[in-house]
Chain A
Amino acid sequence: MNTLRQFRLELTRLLQSRLTWLAILLTALSPIAGLTVYRPLYSSSDSGYVTTMQGMYLANPALAGGILGAVVFAILTVWSMDRLRRDGMETLTHAVVSPMTAALTRLGALLCVSILAQAITTLAWLPYAIMKLGAVFDVESYLLIHLIFMYGAIPLAILFASAACQFTRRADLSLALFAAFATLSLTVWKEKWQLCWLNPCVWAVSDDFSNYRIFRSVAYVRLTWLLAMAGLWLLSYLCVRRYGKGPLGSFAHNIRRFYRPALAAVLAVCSILLYTGQPFVDRSTAEMDYDFLFCPAPLETVTCSGRYADVRPDPKTGCVYGQARFQLQNTGGQEQDARFQIDPGYKIASVRANGADVPFSVDSYQAMGEKMFTVTLPAEAEIELVIDYGGFPQEWNLVSATQGRHEISDTYMSLENHQLSPAPFDVLYAGETLPAMMDIVLPGHMTPVLFGSGATELLKENGDGTKTWRMTDEGYSMILYAGDYIREEIPVEPAGITVNFYYSRRHQSVMEAMDAAEMIRRTIEFCTEHIGPLSFYGDGSFNLIESRCSGGGYAGDGASLADELDFTANNLADSSKGSSSAQVTIHELVHQWWGLGNMFDPMDESGIWSAEGLTCYTTYRIVKALYGEREAQASFVDAWQEAVDDYYKDFYVRHPEYLSALPEQYQADIANNLRGMRQYNEMPLKIWKAEQLVGGEEAMDEILKGLFGRELNPEYPYLTYQEFLDACHLTEEDLNLE
């Protein structure tokens, strides 16, 4: 029988089976699990599940759908493969159709049905996604998430289940093997980004910016496994029983056609090559080698007086190419080996000193997400060193399960330090500072935002729709964010600064609806006046930049980064941070004072003293100043009191012996939940009580001002609860709420 006709018949037979349609229905319903019970994406809040809207309503359901869909199709595959043997029709059928052809067409039909199931799922969930995501919905992301996060797992399951059936010819054993393989991915391989074939390591997806980096990474893993599974399937195909022979006899017969085992071997080799040669994550050593970041012994006779780079990121491939120039002085009168740091994903094409090629060697050792190369500088007093470099930026393998930070696409770019250009490691500045200039070519619609106090200016518009921007700053490091940003200038008179608020155009409606600019102005005014100016205010201006979700913000000289997770509809509706989106925005902004950098010990997870206590209290004070006492009392103090009352009534708080008797997992869940509540409610209420005890708001402002501007102890720079109590001249017992 013709293979194509056989395939058509097999597909028709499958589509006429009720079990097939049940599998399609279950696959279409499976994303529901991602809305309720299986939410693998990171939550940025302790008080509730907060992730981006696309994460909440698209990525989580797609990831859950991928797992459940894979399980459903594995069962369908085993059922379908075992049907003939179960019904005792195998001998008859094999008399008409070759078992090899039957295996091939059956696999093809199952894959076609899986495509149909995915198409139905994607179409069925489209209206829901449009409704839930609103302004942040885009078709491309929707299709890519469904295709890569969800569908990517299903063919792998079909191939594995089919291979297991062909090897073992037993349904129960095949299902057990599949269960073991799936369990491996869900448990032991869960944090190993290349091994978790069923549940890819997706940490967050962005609403306002692009997600191509994580899409590429997951697609790469899927492809690696697809080749491996295809190879495994081909191997099992060789074991398809023929002429009443056993597996070995059939294998010996089937390998007579040389291309079959050859193809299986090629697929397996390709898969191994993809696995070992992955371009996404570096090969840093597992040890934390801090000497790799900070040079202990700089060169005594070599200095650098200036640097320039011409950087050309390619949004289509996610690669960066560039040429870096350094003005170096070699006063030693002899050749010197200077070391440079560069992104581990980049290759050095050439190094020239004063126009002549000079030898260089790239170290194989990588650590802390960096690699180094050594250049032999000539014995000349003034050297212009030109380095041509380029490649795909790699992320540190320590955080390989949370990829996506180094996004380079035509909608967003995040280029930090050595991803922009290599920099000398053991060469000191010639003067007090090092003038740095960089030209970068970006898509025309992008606005570059330089982190820190540097400046950007449009140099020229190129004919191909791109623009060249010039960035000027100081030092070896430069951090650039570029995207479709809206820039809003917010003058804050008491602070004497202008805040440049950069946020994604996709978020414009949300920002305007809650009058974010006004909230920012008033918050900065209040905090500057009552707590003190931020140490990282620039010279008359301060850049507040909304960044792609990266697990939190950070601040530096004249700039601060606010994670987009702070502005998601989900977070803005978090009642523990405020009763309206404007109040939550104030809360997130107050974190610029309480919570950035090393203000609170991140390792101290035992107590309830954290950035949230002072942040919630300060938010209450701002809301009181802006909206009046009644609203502040209702939204904060009453809500805290209610939550604290509930806390003291909680069964496990009253009976800790039952909590300690629970298994660790339950203990941790309950303790985390209670701690989150206490951090957001009990601690601000204690601070509010302290305010009453120290003599009112003005007295508390003075205390907070003192704590905020205190002299730091370099060995332990964190603000502790005891320091707060000491500043208030109170004891822990004074603030007891019971």
Chain B
Amino acid sequence: MNKIFRYELRRLLWNKLFFGILLVSLGYGWLTLTGSVVRGVAHTAPFSPWSFGYYLSQALPLICLGELFFLAFFFSREERLLRPLTQATPIRQRRYAALRCGAVLTATLVLCLCVAVLAVGFYVSLFGWVDYGELILPALLTLIPPIVFCLGAGIMLSRFNHTLIYALMAAVILLTVLPLPPLTNFSLSGFFSQFPLTVEKLDPAFHVPGWLAIHQISLTVLGAFLAVFAANVQRNSSCQTM
């Protein structure tokens, strides 16, 4: 199993597509850091959890697009042509799909890590010291729910038609660009740049309001449910074809 996982992961990571997405994400991340984050978000320090969360929120659409590109890679025409061969192998299809999901998730997390490391490097080079522990919560809050949701929704949609992944990419862009209310907004940049201003004291400690916690947990659960459901759909269809 590990061997197959490593193989699939290597296919994703050792790929021009991954390097292209990584380059674009880092380039955009750098522009965000030097353009708006260095000023400090919502009167907080540039290295505050709020500013870091804002930075990740800005990079999030690109990360999700990258994740969907990885999925599209696994559902490309060439891959579908190879499916009869992989289905003929003794590995259980559900497990194989889960391994591929894991590979996509890992590749996306590598992307996230690179983007986060860029920010930490930026902080260290400019300010010398960063309390890394403070940055973990905003990172988890910002990245994990949308990534899990995009994975679930992407797998689900690709069951119907693989081109729907591209429609999901367009939806991600629209959800980011359109001025939507906070609950429907895909990116949390509005939350990170506005919420600290509603707190009376300056430099408020990072905390997550209840409504946002529920929203993000729901998004994660929905994404996980869609992924599991899609895997079941695949198993049933595989049985029928057999």
Residues on A lying within 8 angstroms of B by beta carbon are 37, 646, 649-652, 654-655, 658, 661-663, 666, 670, 673
Contacts and interface: CB of A to CB of B under 8 A. Distances in A.
A655 B44 CA distance: 11
Given A37-B31, A658-B45, A652 B126 contact: no
Interface stretch (B35-43, B85-93, B227-235): B35-43
Point out which of A37, A649, A651 has the most chain B C-beta atoms below 10 A from its C-beta.
Answer: A651
Given A663-B126, A666-B38, A651 B31 contact: no
Closest 8 CB pairs of A and B: A651-B40, A649-B43, A651-B45, A666-B38, A651-B43, A649-B202, A662-B126, A650-B43
Contacts of B46: 651
Contacts of A655: 45
Residue in A646, A650, A658 with the greatest tally of chain B CB atoms within 10 Å: A658
Contacts of A670: 38-39
B65 to A, nearest CB: 15
A666 B126 contact: yes
A467 to B, nearest CB: 52
A673 B40 CA distance: 13
A661 B43 contact: no
Contact of B126 (A37, A654, A661): A661
B36 to A, nearest CB: 11
B40 A650 contact: yes
B27 to A, nearest CB: 10
18 contacts: A37-B31, A649-B202, A650-B40, A650-B43, A651-B39, A651-B43, A651-B44, A652-B40, A654-B202, A655-B45, A658-B45, A658-B127, A661-B127, A662-B126, A666-B34, A666-B38, A670-B38, A673-B39
A673 B45 CA distance: 17
A639 B179 CA distance: 24
Given A652-B39, A661-B126, 10 more contacts: A37-B31, A649-B43, A650-B43, A651-B39, A651-B44, A651-B46, A662-B38, A663-B126, A670-B38, A670-B39
A658 B46 CA distance: 10
A75 to B, nearest CB: 13
A501 B39 CA distance: 43
A642 to B, nearest CB: 12
Nearest to A649: B43
B102 to A, nearest CB: 31
Interface in B1-58: 31, 34, 38-40, 43-46
Nearest to A36: B31
A662 B44 CA distance: 16
A670 B34 CA distance: 11
A655 B48 CA distance: 14
Nearest to A654: B202
A663 B34 CA distance: 12
A273 to B, nearest CB: 42
A302 B199 CA distance: 80
Nearest to A650: B43
B132 to A, nearest CB: 18
A658 B45 CA distance: 9
Nearest to B48: A651
Contacts of A666: 34, 38, 126
Contacts, number: 30
Interface in B120-157: 126-128
Interface residues of B, number: 13
A646 B43 contact: yes
A646 B39 CA distance: 13
B47 to A, nearest CB: 9
Nearest to A662: B126
B38 to A, nearest CB: 6
A79 to B, nearest CB: 13
Nearest to A651: B40
Contacts of B45: 651, 655, 658
A651 B44 CA distance: 6
Nearest to A646: B43
B149 to A, nearest CB: 28
B20 to A, nearest CB: 11
Contacts of B31: 37
Contacts of B128: 661
Interface in B146-204: 202
Contacts of A661: 126-128
A655 B145 CA distance: 35
Contacts of A649: 43, 202
A649 B201 CA distance: 10
A654 B201 CA distance: 13
B112 to A, nearest CB: 23
Nearest to B44: A651
Nearest to A653: B43
A646 B40 CA distance: 12
Contacts of A654: 202
Nearest to B39: A670
Nearest to B126: A662
Contacts of A651: 39-40, 43-46
A29 to B, nearest CB: 12
A650 B45 CA distance: 9
A595 to B, nearest CB: 28
Contacts of A658: 45, 127
Nearest to B128: A661
A646 B202 CA distance: 11
A662 B127 CA distance: 8
Contacts of B39: 651-652, 670, 673
A658 to B, nearest CB: 7
A695 B34 CA distance: 46
Nearest to B34: A666
A215 to B, nearest CB: 31
Contacts of B127: 658, 661
A652 B46 CA distance: 10
A662 B45 CA distance: 13
A651 B45 CA distance: 6
A661 B34 CA distance: 15
A652 B38 CA distance: 10
A192 to B, nearest CB: 26
Nearest to A655: B45
A319 B126 CA distance: 54
A649 B40 CA distance: 11
A504 to B, nearest CB: 35
A376 B126 CA distance: 68
Most buried by A among B43, B46, B127: B43
Nearest to A663: B126
A179 B76 CA distance: 35
A393 to B, nearest CB: 41
Contacts of A663: 126
A649 B34 CA distance: 20
Contacts of B44: 651
A658 B127 CA distance: 7
Contacts of B38: 662, 666, 670
A321 B234 CA distance: 84
Contacts of B126: 661-663, 666
Nearest to A647: B43
Contacts of A652: 39-40
A662 B31 CA distance: 17
Nearest to B38: A666
A661 B45 CA distance: 14
B42 to A, nearest CB: 9
A19 to B, nearest CB: 11
A293 to B, nearest CB: 44
A673 B46 CA distance: 16
A652 B40 CA distance: 8
Contacts of B40: 650-652
Interface in B47-85: none
Nearest to B46: A651
A657 B46 CA distance: 14
Nearest to B125: A663
Nearest to A673: B39
B152 to A, nearest CB: 31
Contacts of A673: 39
- Which of A646, A649, A655 counts the most B-chain CB atoms under 10 A from its CB? A649
